[in-house]
């Protein structure tokens, strides 16, 4: 919450849940027909992977998007900085305390995506940034030099 919840809800409404791929990989996987409209074969938002229906058996694309999910998880450490402010909110607001017992706040996405999008500004190749280079390296999907 909130980024994973938003990404999951959006994907549930707009894409097809891939039960088999989800069980195989341990990550939530969806598929759709409109992914290529965004000039991509897949996307990873928070911990959600969405692949184009025609690319569901393309393990290079799957591993590329999973690398982005793992990059997102790498920033979990920043959530520990929320412990003290969240504890203060729990003490002062009873409803927040009750809701927080059932939620994990994944606010690292704001840091991760700020860095991610700052890396992709003014580049002449999609892979000329740290995050895409890492994903491309581990999935053998780097298409430019």
Report, in Å, the least distance between residue 44 CB and Zn ion.
7
- If binding is defined by CB under 5 A, does position 51 make contact with Zn ion? no
107 binds Zn ion (CB under 5 A): no
CB of 54 to Zn ion, least distance (A): 18
Q: How many residues does the chain have?
A: 145
∠ CA 124-141-70, nearest 5°, is 100
DSSP E strands, the chain: 16-17, 28-32, 42-45, 48-52
Query: Is-cis flag, bond preceding 2, omega within 30?
Result: yes
Nearer to Zn ion, 15 or 61 (CB): 61
SS3 137: helix
Does residue number 135 form part of the binding site for Zn ion (CB under 5 A)? yes
Applying CB under 5 A, what is the total number of residues that bind Zn ion? Answer: 2
Residue closer to Zn ion, measured from CB, 49 or 135: 135
Could you say which residues in the range 70-99 bind Zn ion, by CB under 5 A? none
Closest CB to Zn ion among residues 97, 119? 119
β-strand 48-52 against 42-45: which pairing, if any? antiparallel
Residues contributing to the site for Zn ion (CB under 5 A): 132, 135
């Amino acid at each position: 919450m909130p980024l994973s919840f938003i990404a999951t809800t959006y994907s549930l409404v707009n894409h097809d849940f891939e039960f088999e791929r989800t069980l195989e990989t341990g990550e939530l996987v969806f598929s759709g027909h409109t992914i290529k409209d965004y000039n991509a074969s897949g996307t990873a938002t928070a911990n959600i992977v969405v692949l184009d229906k025609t690319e569901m058996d393309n393990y290079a694309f799957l591993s590329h998007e999973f690398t982005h999910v793992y990059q997102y998880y790498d920033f979990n450490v920043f959530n520990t900085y929320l412990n003290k402010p969240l504890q203060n909110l729990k003490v002062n607001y009873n409803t927040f305390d009750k809701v927080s017992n059932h939620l994990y706040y994944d606010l690292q996405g704001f840091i991760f995506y700020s860095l991610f999008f700052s890396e992709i500004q003014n580049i002449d190749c999609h892979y000329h940034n740290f995050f895409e280079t890492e994903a491309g390296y581990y999935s053998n999907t780097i298409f430019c030099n």
